[in-house]
Amino acid sequence: MEPTRQGAGIGRLLLDAAEREAVERFAAPRMEMTVIRQRTDLIPWYERRGYTLTGETRPFPLDDERFGIARRRDLEFVVLAKPLTPPV
């Protein structure tokens, strides 16, 4: 994450492109993602883009170094989802 680039709209463009690709290439009816629960600033950002919390949580891979070294042991993912509509 590079704080100086936040707010430039790049995240929104990437999310829009991913949603479009999911619909056009895979005919996906919905998009689902996981966000670290403790990222209380990020969850509302996705909610403003139409995602809702599903109530489901998933464990964070605390001991898998491919995801970095966890600095705290209480990390977990929340699941957000958004229905996708096919292009007209």
pLDDT over 90 at 65, yes or no: no
What pLDDT sits at residue 1? Answer: 53
Please state, rounded to an integer, the average pLDDT across all residues of the chain.
90
Q: Which residues pair with 52 in a beta bridge?
A: 81
The pTM assigned to this predicted structure is 0.81
CATH 3.40.630.30 given to domain 3-83:
yes
Domain ranges of the chain: 3-83
- How far apart are alpha carbons 78 and 39 in whole angstroms? 10
Q: How many CB atoms lie within 10 A of CB 7?
A: 8
Residue 3 has pLDDT above 80, yes or no: no
Better-predicted residue by pLDDT, 4 or 27? 27
With vertex at residue 83, the alpha carbon angle to CA 81 and CA 88, rounded to the nearest 5 degrees, is 150
